[in-house]
Amino acid sequence: MSLELVCPAGTPAALRAAVDAGADTVYCGFRDCTNARNYPGLNFDPDEMAEGVAYAHRFGRKVLAAVNTFPRAGDARPWHDAIDNAARANVDAVILADIGVLDYAATKHPELRRHLSVQASASNELSIAYYRDRFDIRRVVLPRVLSVEQVAALVRRIGIETEVFAFGSVGPMSEGRCFLSSYITGLSPTSEGACAPASHVSYKEDGPETLSRLGEVTLNRFSHGEPAAYPTPCKGRYVTHGRTSYLFEEPIALNAIDILADLQAAGVTALKIEGRQRSRAYVTEVVGSFRQAIDALDRGQGGAVENTLASVAEGQRQTHGAYTKGWR
C-alpha cells in the first residue's frame, strides 16, 4: 500500500495548494481555541471547512479536522460545536486528544471517524489500546519520540492505523502535557491552542546580535544570519553548569524523506507534514517533494529523489530525530 501523504493547511488557499501539489489528505482546524495552532490569521470557519472538504472530495482526497486541545472546565461548548461543525462539513475524520471530547464525539457522532492526536501523547501499546477500546479510534498519530523499530513493534500490536511525523519540528517534550509556555506566558497551549503565542514574542537588537524573548524571559541570542528557531521554550538556549547550550533541542527540522522505505516497512499508514502556520509556498514545496518521493518508492525507486528541502527546514538543518539511534 502506498503511504498516505497527510498535509497541513492553515488557510483555504493552503488547502487547495496542498491538494493541487498531491496531498492525499489535508488536515486543518477551526478558527478558535479548539485546535493546537490557534494563531492569528489562520484556520477555517465552518463554511470554509465545508468548501475545503468539497474541493478535496472533488479530487478524491480527504480532509481531517483537528479538534485537539483540552476544553476548559465549565466551557466545553466551543469543542462540542467544533465536532458538530466538522460532522456537518462532511470531514473524513476528526483528530482528537481530550478524553472528554473523545467521549462526546463517540457518543454524538459514532459514524464520524476518529483519530487520536499527538497531543494525547499515546506512546505505548497500552495507551493506544485504551483509546481504541473506549472511543473506537481508527488511527493514532504517534509522538515524535519513537524509533523506527518501536514504531514497527506498535504497528504489529495495536491493530489500527498509524500516522507518523515526516517533516516539521522535532518535539522533544511529551506533547499535550508540556506546561513550559504557560509557565512563561500564562496562556495555555493545552486549552488555548498556541505554544509561544505571537502576542508574547519579541525581538530586540543588541549590537551585532538579536535577542528573542517570550514574555519577560530571554530565550535566545543569535548573530545576524545565524539560524534560530521561533522562540518556543524548548528551542531556546539555557545555561547549565555555567555553559550555554541548546539544552532541549537545536534549531533543526525533522525530515524523514530519505527513510520513507523504512517507515513503510514498519507498516506505517500515513506520513504527516507539519506546518499549518507556514506559508502556501511552503506547503507546495514540501508536499510536492514528498509526493515525488512516495511515487518513486511505489515504483521501486526509493531514494531516487533528491532531498531539496533544506531551505524550508527550520534552522536550515535536518535530522531524523528519534527515528534513528543517538537522538535521546
Count the neighbouring beta carbons within 10 Å of the beta carbon of residue 106: 16
Within 13 Å and on the Cβ side, how many CA atoms surround 163?
Answer: 24
Report how far residue 184's alpha carbon sits from residue 26's, in angstroms, rounded to the nearest whole number. 32
CA 97 to chain centre: 13
Q: How far is the CB of 134 from other proteins (least distance, A)?
A: 8
Q: How far is the CB of 56 from other proteins (least distance, A)?
A: 30
Pick between residue 74 and residue 225 the one whose CB is nearest to other proteins.
Answer: 74
Pick between residue 31 and residue 221 the one whose CB is nearest to other proteins.
Answer: 221
Q: How far is the CB of 166 from other proteins (least distance, A)?
A: 18
Pick between residue 39 and residue 248 the one whose CB is nearest to other proteins.
Answer: 248
Report how far residue 209's alpha carbon sits from residue 168's, in angstroms, rounded to the nearest whole number. 26
3-state class (DSSP) for residue 121: coil
Pick between residue 34 and residue 289 the one whose CB is nearest to other proteins.
Answer: 34
Q: How far is the CB of 163 from other proteins (least distance, A)?
A: 17
Residues that bind other proteins (CB under 8 A): 70-76, 98-101, 103-104, 120-127, 129-131, 133-134, 145-146, 150, 153, 172-174, 176-180, 182-186, 188, 190-191, 215, 217-221, 234, 236-241, 243-245, 247-248, 322, 326-328
Q: How far is the CB of 190 from other proteins (least distance, A)?
A: 7
Pick between residue 106 and residue 261 the one whose CB is nearest to other proteins.
Answer: 106
Q: How far is the CB of 123 from other proteins (least distance, A)?
A: 5
What is the DSSP track for 55-120? HHHHTT-EEEEEE-S-PBTTB-HHHHHHHHHHHHTT-SEEEE--HHHHHHHHHH-TTS-EEE-GGG
Pick between residue 235 and residue 278 the one whose CB is nearest to other proteins.
Answer: 235
Name every residue whose Cβ is closer than 8 Å to that of residue 143 and which is 6 or more positions away in sequence: 118, 121, 122, 123, 171, 174, 175
3-state class (DSSP) for residue 234: helix
Pick between residue 11 and residue 188 the one whose CB is nearest to other proteins.
Answer: 188
Name every residue whose Cβ is closer than 8 Å to that of residue 247 and which is 6 or more positions away in sequence: 237, 238, 240
Q: How far is the CB of 68 from other proteins (least distance, A)?
A: 12
Contact 20, 13 (CB under 8 A): no
